[in-house]
Structure 1
Amino acid sequence: MTAAVARPADGDRDRDPVPAGQPAGAGRRGLIWLLAVAGALGLAASSVLTFDKLRLLANPDYVPSCNINPIISCGSVMRTEQAALLGFPNSLLGLVGFTVVLATALGLAAGARYHRWYWLGLQAGSLLGVVLVHWLIGQSLYTIGALCPYCMVVWASTIALFWYTTLHNLRTGVIPVGDRLRPVVRELNRYHWAVPVLWYAVIALLVLNRFWYYWQTLL
């Protein structure tokens, strides 16, 4: 006698076979690398910003290393109210947030399995981060009129974290997806690079357009 092999129903064929929130295989390795690189870059940029802010508080004449020209000027940004939205330097939020992200990556690399509530917490944190980043982008472009290179590293890292955390949570069922939307999620995962590339391109075009009066003097 041969054992009967259960065949998956049509509605189940596209379902991720791993438990909710648990990445597997190549997807797990990719997520670990994404979290590790984005977390490390964001943490490094936040650390430099915090150090420069402390030096600036101690010595108002201190010139940060990223003061390059009238537009690329961290000092101009650090002296604004927007740089301390909650009453303390925004970079302190980055120190905490990116440390959590990096610790998450290291935990996954060591074989940790996080509960659904943890992934939802990471989703909420990355959502708040990307909202704050876009508010700061608008303030930098249209109110402050200056750009901070280290801040832009934080922008890029936060956008990548939000996008890939969202994709992971959709794919693994942390964020429930109906059968009608499952093919959309599958295609988003297949062409996962397209959205962040377009996202970064729009921001780059906004920066180019806003400061074109200065960029054209460099041509």
Structure 2
Amino acid sequence: MTAWTDTRAAGAALPGDEPQGTAQVLAGRDRRLGAGLLVGGALGLLAAFVLAVEKFRLLTEADYVPTCSINPVLSCGSVMSSPQAEVFGFPNPLLGLIGFTAVLVVGAALTGGAALPSWFWAGLQLGVVAGVIFVHWLIEASLYRIGALCPYCVVVWVVVIALFTAVTARNLTAVAHRLPPAIQPVVAALHRRQTIVVTVWLLGIAALITVRFWTFWSTTLG
């Protein structure tokens, strides 16, 4: 009974809910999600734009040192010059420019009250899944193959993880009434605790970074 009550308080779509009521709940949540997508899309687009400019200058100016090349670890130049920076045959920031622009457009539509069809949400889910997988591949490459971090890239990592969590929580909530009753409270808890999920996720990545570059940090700070 407690789990059922908690789930309803979180506004999850449950068996027996009237379709109209469910639609109203989702519409309100989608507007709030839209505001989050606007913020995340803007931050991601800004980081991608700066990365694109830095990459262009690095390619056209032989002696150019990127603004985010601060020390041997925080070194955009090392990351941008690696094969992983052009994994599809063109600079990765171009993917960010396209992807985050799309996120901004979706965020603006949701904030304005647009009701997007289920196939669109499925496509957006595939997009954020692909994005978060790609980001973690880049994290692994930065830590264990390139041996350097790009601060602007880290901003992109954070934004993509937050977007993935928000979109996934929304989509699971939308189909919660089709899921087994035992799973519905988990979906509701995920929706309520998105900030905690993202925080723990990012702390895990921060721990990997700390361990990987511990010798440098301890020498520099010590």
What is the TM-score with the length of structure 1 in the denominator? 0.88
Aligned residue number for residue 153 of structure 1: 155
How far apart are 1:191 and its partner, in Å? 1.9
**Equivalent residue letter for 2:38:** A
Aligned residue number for residue 24 of structure 1: 27
Q: Is the 8 A contact 1:45 1:150 kept in 2?
A: yes
The two structures, once aligned, show a CA RMSD in angstroms of: 2.2
- Aligned partners of 1:174 and 1:190: how far apart in 2? 14
Q: Which moved more, 1:58-67 or 1:97-106?
A: 58-67
Give CA deviations for 1:140-197 in whole Å, capped at 9, x if unaligned: 0000000000000000000001111000001112995333311111121222222111
Q: Secondary structure at the match of 1:193?
A: helix
Aligned residue number for residue 3 of structure 1: none
Aligned residue number for residue 113 of structure 1: 115
Q: Is the 8 A contact 1:140 1:146 kept in 2?
A: yes
Identity of aligned residues (%): 48
**Equivalent residue letter for 1:17:** G
Matches within 5 A, 1:45-194: 45-173=47-175, 176-194=178-196
- Aligned partners of 1:77 and 1:186: how far apart in 2? 39
- Aligned partners of 2:36 and 2:115: how far apart in 1? 17
Q: Secondary structure at the match of 1:24?
A: helix
Q: 2:210 aligns with which of 202, 208, 211?
A: 208
Q: Is the 8 A contact 2:74 2:150 kept in 1?
A: yes
Structure with higher Rg: it is 1
Q: 1:199 aligns with which of 198, 201, 205?
A: 201
Number of aligned residue pairs: 208
- Aligned partners of 2:182 and 2:44: how far apart in 1? 36
* Gap change, CA 1:176 and 1:121, over 3 Å in 2: farther
Structure 1 residue runs without a partner (length 5+): 1-9
What is the TM-score with the length of structure 2 in the denominator? 0.87
* Gap change, CA 1:149 and 1:12, over 3 Å in 2: same
Q: Is the 8 A contact 1:16 1:171 kept in 2?
A: no
**Equivalent residue letter for 1:23:** L
Q: Is the 8 A contact 2:143 2:209 kept in 1?
A: yes
Structure 2 residue runs without a partner (length 5+): 1-13
- Aligned partners of 1:174 and 1:127: how far apart in 2? 19
